[in-house]
Structure 1
Amino acid sequence: MTEAFQIHPAPEAGVGELSAVLQATLPLLTRVLDAVPARVVVLDVGEKLVWANHEFFKFTGLHPRQVLQQPIGRIVGDVAYAAYAGVRERMRGGQTVAWEGWTDLAGMGRRYMREHLVPVEMKDGVPQATIVMSLDLTELKLREAELSAKVAELEATEALKSSIFDNAMAALVSTDETGHIVEFNPAAATMFGLAREQALGRSVAEVMIPERLRGAHDAGMARVSRGGEQRVMGRRVEMPALRADGSEFPVEMVLWRTGVGTQTFYTASLFDLSERETSRNEIERQREALRQSEKLTAMGSLLAGVAHELNNPLSIVMGRAALLAEKMSGSPLATDAQRIHEAAERCGRIVRTFLNMARSRPANRSEVALNDLATAAIDMLAYVLRSHGINVTLDLLPGLPPVKADADQVGQIVLNLIVNAQQALGLRDHGRRLTVSTGLAPMTPGDRRRSPRIWLRVRDNGPGIPVELRERVFEPFFTTKSEGVGTGLGLAVSRSIARDHGGELTIQDDGIDGGACFCLQLPVSGEPEPGETEPAPLAAADDCDARLLVVDDEPEIAELLGEMLSGAGYEVMTAESGAVALAMLEEARFDAIISDLHMPELDGAGLWREVKRTRPALARRMLFVTGDTLSPTARQFLDEARCDSLNKPFAKAELLARVTELLKS
């Protein structure tokens, strides 16, 4: 036995104070205790170290000569020794004490110890020796604390990730490498209309991919699993997705792969693009509406540009036809001349209607018989309908109350509907039928305060209009006709006119044999008025011998105006320009001037200013004839001059009525 494991008695106490039994067993105990990993020491009654095992000296790094027979307080240090006060008190009663905790050992710093202190050889209630067995758990405690810190950090990180995952605005869906869902955050549950518990464990293809795309999805997953090309990984991809109710919606997806140990997971971040798609469609719709508005604006400008040129020949046709009818009164040819006049007059009204719409002028409302408008439209299109083999039926309810409306505008609606039906019937080989009917809408108790309404229906047995297109046909420039057949404006304009009159134009389901049926409804103005008699001819004015000056750069218009006015008894002279008119005013007296508004060099406005400067009274008796009804410059001048105007084309009666009023001023 080495010196380190010998009992070294203290000079004052001596080994003889230990019991013989203890001394006899020490060799055996030494061998046993030397083999245990714990530190074992024996203290005598005076708390001096009398024995220690090999582990103690290894732990402290001290030599037996440094510590044997030394008070334990000197070995462990004052701080640690003071901490044993309570332990010593308990041991005096023969009690074995076990404790563990942090303590400060001299020369070793702060250590975490676990100790058992066993008092032995009690004599008069005082232990004659103490066996102390201790384990240094410092490294274990430090690793445990480090591990606890890492666990806490991991838990905090996991809690943060869970918080981000659960509260993310994007839908996050994670799957294993087989494509089965392992995570499904609340945003995904909301987006797909499926609870997390219902999604977990199911195939992602079944939950969120439309059936027609599942084959491509499965093929892509198989390709990636084999190490093939990752076509969508990490890229923003727009694709349709499937809700739990079976509806599809657009999403933007970013997919990434995560390896955890030997396992592979795929996570998709998804954003619902429905609102963006709706906004995109709305923006595109507004852009299209803007383009169509620009087209309408351009068309309005085009109409303004051609109105003057178009109205001049129409004025000549109307005027000459009227004069011809007067000259051939009583002759069969007078009827033909009257028809020419009526056709030209209608052309003029149509042009005027479009111009009125373009400049947003209110309609000229009067009592209108809807049956008469329907009959007139059929009469006008009789040849076209007959030549296309269309069998026309008129089913007009007699005694309909009149409508307070603009006859030209409502007549244009009826004409548009019949023309559309005629063009649609061209797609049938035979058996083409068209029915125009009118009636009075029944009144319900809730309608008693409303004006009664009458209706007009135009029905055909053509191919009809698909349900999904029944509202689109009223959009400007939308047409179901082949290229070059329609402009797409007729129904849009017609509905606009109907609504402007407080009515409506709709498509109904009662077409003939599945064809189309358009229904126009308009509010009426009251009971029918007594039939109007033919207006009496204008009586000759007292001043029919008045001298009139006609100024127009169009010789035919000037000549036509001269003949109309001369036929009414007026003395008429004509001038081909404003400058010539001023020269004639210097030579002769005139009671009124009828002038074109737009002329080269000195126009009507310039002529009026010169006349106002030299002959103010005559300036108040100037009537301007114009075909440019859209020009803001013309409108501004007429408002400034406070002069009356006559729009081309015009009827003789209208011209004479204006001149009569002019001469009274």
Structure 2
Amino acid sequence: MSIQQKATTNAVSDGGALLRALFDAIPGRAAFLDVELRYRYVNREFLASLGATEDCVLGKFVEEVLGPEAGASYRAAMPGLVAGKPQHLRRTIEEDGARRSLEEELKPFAPGGAMQGVVCVAHHVAEPEECETTHAEWLESHKAREAIHSAVVDSALDCIVVIDAQGHVVEFNPAAAATFGYSREEAIGKTVAELIVPPEMRASHDAGLARFRSGGPSSVIGKRVELEAMCANGSRIPIELAITAVGSGPSALFTAHLRDLRPTREAQAQIERQREALYQSEKLAALGSLLAGVAHELNNPLSIVIGQALMLREAAQAHAILDKQFEEFADRGTKIETAANRCARIVKIFLAMARQREAERGRVEIPELVERVLELLSYGLRTAGIEVTKDIPADLPPLLADSDQLHQVLLNLVVNAKQALEAQPAPRRIAIVARAEPSTQKLEILISDNGPGVPDAIRNRIFDPFFTTKPQGVGTGIGLAVSRGLIEAHGGSLILEPQQPGVGAVFVVTLPIEATETAVVATDSAPSQPATRQRRALIVDDEVEIAGLLAEILRRLAFDCEIATSGEQAKQALAEKAVDLILCDIRMPNGDGPALYDWLGVEHPPMTNRIAFVTGDILGPAADRFIVRSGCPVVEKPFAPEEIRQVVDLLCDETGA
């Protein structure tokens, strides 16, 4: 080996590790040859192109590896390489069954001044035809990418706005045009600041752009922020903004994804309203359960007051024939009875509103229904200084409807009118007008006020569930929606009439007039005639005063009465002696009314046709189902003696007692 060869070998050996790392990192076919053009190192791509291993290449001349033609080209280039000038060679090779052009760059390796070897890197070069094909493929690929880009941007649900480093808009997708009110043609070329950035934020926006162009940090890029944006009409909308930067400095582009937060915030507000409505519903449900107990506690003493007042009046009137001083007692008894009856009606109205049962349609008299509504609201209307006028003919045809549901609708409409008038100066008026249209078989109820009316902007939304203009805690936004649903379930309609000058809101309830059956109820208040034998009655009630009042009423009807304070006591009394009639409370300790009825069905079946229930709390669905199942007469507390007489006549007529 010559001195020069030894130097080359030593150089390669000393820097072998570094040379290997460098060569493997070079893209293309790289090789290192000594000055005699023997291969000393080749990279992986070189070996892969030949399909050979290092053992087949290293130490061999160019001619042995690449062929005579390549060897001749390399040797012809050596003088130039020795002079320190890189050489470029081009040759044609057979590869993968096709002829390809290969361009090789040869550079001298001379770390100490004298050339110690040659570094060769070869690259594939496309032919003109191949270049044209490649260019066509690139164009097709570019068009495909453009089409995909356009499809993605144009169909994006969010607004996409692209601006350059100076803030000019270069892309404005359809969602952005729909949200902000600018067409794409109007937006392109203008600064984003003048389009959608509110005036008070423009200085901060421009400063941020300038800071980014100069290489400074950005406070919004790569983050999600919520702020306000401006539309073409000057209105402000809440948006969520995310900005991505492509490039830096004066050539940077910024892609902004903007999401209109109005639907999200409206949905959040809707959820809050629904949550509040649910909370109110739960409170009403709890109030309904509480009302059952309260009604029971109120109805029992009210029954006693009404019954005793009525009997006091009757007794005083009987004695007044002989002694005029008893007329005053009769008048006082009448006043007590009237006041107690009013309390009883209010309790019954609350019970009807709180009942959890299916709709039950029956004969409904509109004048009576309106009176019940106004009686319930009389105190609030009077203290608010509201005058209520009625134009309701007494001969209006009755409706076949659910009385409780219609009561709820009219109550809600009057309450809404009252609340609309509370902030108005006097005079404050509510008018209730009812009229029948025989030609259409419709009955209309108009409830109007002289308040501010309903603004045009929200007239088409007032029947939407959970929509309300009332302050927090005053309304839930479900009253009108529920009312319309109840009226439509009756085959009618509930509308708000167009606004008229000088008139507030006018709501019109329209209901169909259907044929109703008139129930024939005995109204003869004369006491039943005593039978030829003494009749016996069993009174079952845990309230001793109520039981005593019922016994006194029945004794006037020629009954011998026995009192039991529970279902178990009633069973013992029936085991000892038969009775002709049973008046029983529904809810009692130690055996309630339904349990006693079921026991009678097994032990004394005929008595199931001689029992009536007197109760003050027909509220829950269980009690309703029992009443429907048994088919027994029911008298609700507080009651009048006349109601007890009618039940006695009904049961005695049916059983022949």
Task: Please tell me the TM-score bracket, short chain as reference.
Answer: 0.5 to 0.7
Tell me how far 1:283 sits from its aligned partner.
Answer: 5.4
Match of 1:649 among 629, 638, 657: 638
Task: Identify the residue that residue 437 of structure 1 maps to in structure 2.
Answer: 433
Task: Identify the residue that residue 443 of structure 2 maps to in structure 1.
Answer: 453
Task: Identify the residue that residue 365 of structure 2 maps to in structure 1.
Answer: 368
Q: For residues 521-563 of structure 1, what are the alpha-carbon distances to aligned partners after superposition, in whole Å with 9 as ceiling and x for unaligned?
A: 333347999xx99944366266494210101111121122112
Task: Identify the residue that residue 297 of structure 2 maps to in structure 1.
Answer: 309
Tell me how far 1:314 sits from its aligned partner.
Answer: 3.7
Match of 2:579 among 590, 603, 616: 590
Distance in 2 between residues matched to 1:359 and 1:288, nearest whole Å: 24
* TM-score w.r.t. length of structure 2: 0.65
Task: Identify the residue that residue 161 of structure 2 maps to in structure 1.
Answer: 173
Contact kept? 2:528, 2:645, Cα under 8 Å? no
Task: Identify the residue that residue 616 of structure 1 maps to in structure 2.
Answer: 605
Which has the greater radius of gyration?
Answer: 1
Distance in 1 between residues matched to 2:212 and 2:494, nearest whole Å: 59
- Could you say what secondary structure the match of 2:613 adopts? strand
Q: Which amino acid aligns with 2:357?
A: R
Contact kept? 2:193, 2:202, Cα under 8 Å? yes
Task: Identify the residue that residue 268 of structure 1 maps to in structure 2.
Answer: 256
Structure 1 pair 533–578 and aligned structure 2 pair: CA distance change class (3 A): closer
- Could you say what secondary structure the match of 1:354 adopts? helix
Moved more, 285-294 or 249-258: 285-294
Q: For residues 350-374 of structure 1, what are the alpha-carbon distances to aligned partners after superposition, in whole Å with 9 as ceiling and x for unaligned?
A: 0332144x223314x215243x554
Q: Which amino acid aligns with 1:431?
A: P
Unpaired stretches in structure 1, ≥5 consecutive residues = 1-55, 63-100, 113-137
Q: After the TM superposition, which residues 134-149 of structure 1 pair with which residues of structure 2 at under 5 Å, given as runs?
A: 142=125
Distance in 2 between residues matched to 1:382 and 1:261, nearest whole Å: 76
Q: After the TM superposition, which residues 461-500 of structure 1 pair with which residues of structure 2 at under 5 Å, given as runs?
A: 461-462=450-451, 464=453, 466=455, 472=462, 480=470, 498-500=487-489
- Could you say what secondary structure the match of 2:247 adopts? strand
Number of residues paired by the alignment? 533
Tell me how far 1:212 sits from its aligned partner.
Answer: 6.8
Distance in 1 between residues matched to 2:622 and 2:394, nearest whole Å: 47
Contact kept? 1:417, 1:458, Cα under 8 Å? no
Tell me how far 1:180 sits from its aligned partner.
Answer: 0.6
Contact kept? 1:368, 1:406, Cα under 8 Å? no
Structure 1 pair 332–286 and aligned structure 2 pair: CA distance change class (3 A): closer
Match of 1:523 among 497, 512, 516: 512
Percent of matched pairs sharing the same residue = 38
Contact kept? 2:273, 2:466, Cα under 8 Å? no
Match of 1:659 among 642, 648, 655: 648
Structure 1 pair 383–242 and aligned structure 2 pair: CA distance change class (3 A): closer
Q: Which amino acid aligns with 1:340?
A: A
Tell me how far 1:249 sits from its aligned partner.
Answer: 6.3
Task: Identify the residue that residue 423 of structure 2 maps to in structure 1.
Answer: 427
Task: Identify the residue that residue 351 of structure 1 maps to in structure 2.
Answer: 350
Q: Which amino acid aligns with 2:511?
A: L
* TM-score w.r.t. length of structure 1: 0.64
1:603 equivalent to 2:592? Answer yes
Q: For residues 216-247 of structure 1, what are the alpha-carbon distances to aligned partners after superposition, in whole Å with 9 as ceiling and x for unaligned?
A: 53454345445554121011334555666877
Tell me how far 1:309 sits from its aligned partner.
Answer: 3.0
Q: For residues 574-600 of structure 1, what are the alpha-carbon distances to aligned partners after superposition, in whole Å with 9 as ceiling and x for unaligned?
A: 122233333333443311221112222
Structure 1 pair 612–187 and aligned structure 2 pair: CA distance change class (3 A): closer
Structure 1 pair 631–151 and aligned structure 2 pair: CA distance change class (3 A): same
Distance in 1 between residues matched to 2:122 and 2:133, nearest whole Å: 15
Q: For residues 102-152 of structure 1, what are the alpha-carbon distances to aligned partners after superposition, in whole Å with 9 as ceiling and x for unaligned?
A: 779xxxx9889xxxxxxxxxxxxxxxxxxxxxxxxx999949989999978
Structure 1 pair 467–302 and aligned structure 2 pair: CA distance change class (3 A): farther
Structure 1 pair 377–336 and aligned structure 2 pair: CA distance change class (3 A): farther
Q: After the TM superposition, which residues 313-324 of structure 1 pair with which residues of structure 2 at under 5 Å, given as runs?
A: 313-324=301-312
Structure 1 pair 190–386 and aligned structure 2 pair: CA distance change class (3 A): closer
Contact kept? 2:539, 2:582, Cα under 8 Å? yes
Distance in 2 between residues matched to 1:473 and 1:111, nearest whole Å: 80
Unpaired stretches in structure 2, ≥5 consecutive residues = 1-72, 80-89, 94-99, 104-120, 318-326
Contact kept? 1:550, 1:573, Cα under 8 Å? yes
Distance in 1 between residues matched to 2:377 and 2:173, nearest whole Å: 68
Q: Which amino acid aligns with 2:352?
A: T
- Could you say what secondary structure the match of 1:168 adopts? helix
Match of 1:577 among 535, 560, 566: 566
Structure 1 pair 645–162 and aligned structure 2 pair: CA distance change class (3 A): same
Distance in 1 between residues matched to 2:447 and 2:163, nearest whole Å: 61
Moved more, 141-150 or 637-646: 141-150
